[in-house]
Structure 1
C-alpha cells in the first residue's frame, strides 16, 4: 500500500527500496534459503514500459547486493522468474505467421529476458516495432545500467502453463491484438481446462528450446507448471493427464534436446493459495491429497515414469489404460500408408470408370 501511494513500479525510487528490502531478507533468512527468486512471473501484458524498466533495475540491484555481500558466506543462487507460455504460428509454413509469433514471444518473454540473459538491452524486434508505430515510450538504459542488469542471474527460471496459436490475419475481433497486429486463437482439437486454458504439452519443450537458442546453454528451472480443474470432477483426471504429459515433455527436452534442465515444480501445492490449481484440496481447515498428488508422488518416488510392464497410451477422455489407443498410436505410419493406398485405389477406379464410359460414348 505504501509503495502504491508513491507510484509503485512507475516510481524509479521503488527499485532502491526493493534492493534494501532484499538486503534485509538476505541478512535475516539467508542462513536457511539457498534458492532466491527476486520477481515471480511479472505479467508483461499488463505492465507499462516504465514499470518494466524499473522492475529490471530493481532485480539487478538485488542480485548485485547478494552477489557482493552475501554469496560468499551463504553460497546461494538467485535469479528472476519469467512467465514463458509458447506462441505457435497457426501455419508453420507461413513466413508472416512465423514473424508475428516471434514478435509476441519477444514482447511476452524477451522484454525482460533480453536485458538480463542477452545483450543488456531490450530486444531489437521490440524497439523496431514500437518505432514503426511512433511509440517512443520504451525507455533507454544508460551504459552503466546495461552493465548492472546484464548477467544478473545464476539460472533461468520460467513458469509455463499453455500454448497460444497466432495468425497475421484478423479473423476474430475479440481475440485480435491491435497493438501487435496479431490474431490469437486456439486449436479446436486441443483439450481445455474449465478456465479455457489449452493443454498443449509439446509447447513446453518448444519454449525451452527457444530460450536455449536465444540465451545459450543456461541452467533452467521450471518453477510453475499446472492447470485448473473442476473441483467436482471425479478422479482429478485432467490434472493427472496434464502433469503426466508436461513432465514427459520436460524429460524429452532434457534427454533428447540437451536442455540443462535442473528442476521442475508443479503448480500449485494446495487450493487455498491457488483455487482449482492445487494438488491438495482444502476444506474445514484440513488438506486432503487429490489423485493428481498421488500420481505426482509416484513419479517422484520412482524417479521417473512407471516401468515397461505398465506402459501404454492414456485416453484423455477416460484416462484409463487403453489398448486400442496404444494400437493406433504405435502404428501411425503404417495406418497413414494404408490410408494413402486406399485413397490411390479409389482414385484409380474412378479414373478407369470415367475413361471407360467416355470411350463407349465415343464409339457410339
Structure 2
C-alpha cells in the first residue's frame, strides 16, 4: 500500500485538480434535478443518499438506479454491463443493505450492439448472486445506452445524513486491482471469485447491524474527495482528509487516485470506541481500510498534506447536491430546462 504524501508544489497542483474535477462537477446536476422535482434531504424519504430508503415493516426497502455515460457504454460495453450490476450492489451495501433483484434498460443499435452489454450484465448477476428479473430493451436506436436499477433491503441503515463532528473518517478500498483504461475505473472485481465478492459486500450490513457506524457512502464517480463532499453536505458537517493516510496502490498518480471510481470503495464515519472493530471488519477480508481524517463542524471539505491545508469545497458559499440540511436556493432563472443525470 502506497502513501499519497506530496511536496508543497505537488500538493497545490493536486488541490487545483480536485477543485476542477469533472466527476465532482457532475454531481451538481443532482441539485438541478432535485430542485425541479421539489426534492431534498428533508423529505419523508430523504434524497441525496446512495439509495432511497423506504420504511417497510421492521426494516427498509432500498431502491437505487444508475445511468451510464454514452462514451463508457460505447468504449467498454461488456464492462458497462458488469458495472450496471456491481455499482448498484455497492449502493445497496453502502446503506447497510443486501440486494434482492436487478432490472435493466438497454438501448442499442441492433442485437450485435446489445450483446456485449447483456453478457456483462449476466456475468455480474451470476458472480454476485443477484438475479436480473426484467427490464426494458430497445434495439432500434443509433447508440448504446444503459441504465440499471436494484431493489434491496436493510434492517438497520447506514446513511449519508448521520456523520457527526468529532467522528473519524474511514476509507475502505480494495487495492487488489488495476485501472481499466482509458477511464479512471479501478477494477478489482471481474477476476475475483464469487465467494470473495459476496463476502466483501456483506461487511457493510454487518457494520450497520453491529452498530459500528451510522454513516457511510459508496465512493462514486466523484472520487474519494467528491464522495466525502457529498457525505459532508448531507450530514451538515465538514471533513478534513489527511492524504498521507489514504490507502492507495503502489505507483498511482495521487490526483487520479483521488478522483477514481473504485469497484469497491466506501467512506464511513466512526466514533473512537467503534473504530478498531470497524477497521478490523474490513481487514479480515483483505480490504485496505484506514482512518484518513475527521468529521468537523466548519462545513468545508479540506485536504491536508503535512502542515499544508487546502479547501476543496465550502458549503457556506455554495451547495453541491442541494440535499443538505441548509440548502442554498436554486436560481430559477438560471436553471437549465433539461435536467441531467441525477444518479
- TM above 0.5, yes or no, is no
Higher strand content, 1 or 2: 2
TM-score, with structure 1 as normaliser:
0.23
Higher helix content, 1 or 2: 1
Specify the structure having the higher radius of gyration (Cα).
1
Structure with bigger RCO (C-alpha 8 Å, 6+ apart): 2
TM-score, with structure 2 as normaliser:
0.24
